[in-house]
Amino acid sequence: MIWIYNFYIMTKIKPIFILFLAAIMALSFSFGFKASAVRLIDTDTQQKNIEKNQNQNQNQGEEDENETSDSEDFDDIASKSTGQINAEIHRSVVANFVQSLLKIASRSEGGIGDQVRVVAREQNLAKERVAEEIETVQNRNKIKTFLIGSDYKNLGQLRSEMVQTRNRLEQLTRLMENVASAGEKTELKEQVQNLEQERTRIENFIKAQEGKFSLFGWLVRLFSKSK
C-alpha cells in the first residue's frame, strides 16, 4: 500500500511540477526575448548615433573648409583693397621681371635688345630702394603714426619710384611693337602686365598709408607742403 501511495503522490505532484517548470521556462524565454530586443534596439540606436555623428563631423569639416576658403578669399580682397604689400614679394616680382627682360634682350638684335637691357638694369636698381621704403613705412611706430601720421617722407619717395616705374613700362610697351618674334612679344607683354600689377598694389599701399587716421597728421602734411 505504501508504494501505491507513493506512486499516487508522485503522479499527483508531477503534473504540477511540470507546469511549474513550463512556467519558469516561459518566463525565461520571455525575459530573454525582451533582453535581446532591447540589445537590438540599443545597437540600432548606437549605430544611428554613430552615423549621425559622422555626418555632423563631415558637414562640419565641409563648413570649415568653406569658411577657410571664404576667409582666404576675403583676406585676398581685403589685402587688395587696403593696399597690403610685402617687400620680399616685391623683390621676387621684380627679380623675375628683370630676368625675363635680360633673356629677351640677349635674343634680340640691334638697339631693341640694348634698350630692354637698360630698362631691366634700372628696374633692378630701384628694387631695393622700393623694398626698403616699404619696410620703413610698415615698421613705423604705431603710437607715432597715431599722433603725427604715416611716414610721409618715405611715402613721397615711394610715389616717385612708382612714377619712374610707370615710365619704364611705357617705354617697354613702345619697344614691344618692334619685337619681331611673336613668342618674345608675348613674354614681354606678360612681364609688363606683372610689373604693372605690382605698381598698382604699391600705389594702393601709398594711398592706404596716407589715409590713416592721426591726431596731428594734417598739421605735419601742411608743414611739409609749406617747405
Question: Could you tell me if residue 5 is inside a domain?
Answer: yes
Does residue 33 sit in the same domain as residue 103? no
Cα–Cα distance for residue pair 152/219, rounded to 1 Å: 12
Is the pLDDT assigned to residue 13 strictly greater than 70? no
* Banded model confidence at residue 8, pLDDT cuts 50, 70, 90: very low
What average pLDDT does this structure show over 113-142?
95
Kindly report the CATH number assigned to the domain that includes residue 172: 1.20.120
What average pLDDT does this structure show over 190-196?
95
Domain span at residue 182 reads 85-226
Question: Structural domain tally of the chain?
Answer: 2
Question: Could you tell me if residue 48 is inside a domain?
Answer: no
The helix or strand, by DSSP H or E, that contains position 8, with its residue range, turns out to be helix 2-82
Note the pLDDT of residue 35. 44
Does residue 91 sit in the same domain as residue 196? yes
pTM passes above 0.75? no
* Banded model confidence at residue 40, pLDDT cuts 50, 70, 90: very low
Does residue 103 sit in the same domain as residue 32? no
Question: Could you tell me if residue 187 is inside a domain?
Answer: yes
Does residue 112 sit in the same domain as residue 207? yes
Question: Could you tell me if residue 117 is inside a domain?
Answer: yes
Note the pLDDT of residue 195. 95
Does residue 187 sit in the same domain as residue 101? yes
The answer to whether the beta carbons of residues 148 and 214 sit under 8 Å apart is yes
Cα–Cα distance for residue pair 27/123, rounded to 1 Å: 96
Does residue 96 sit in the same domain as residue 178? yes
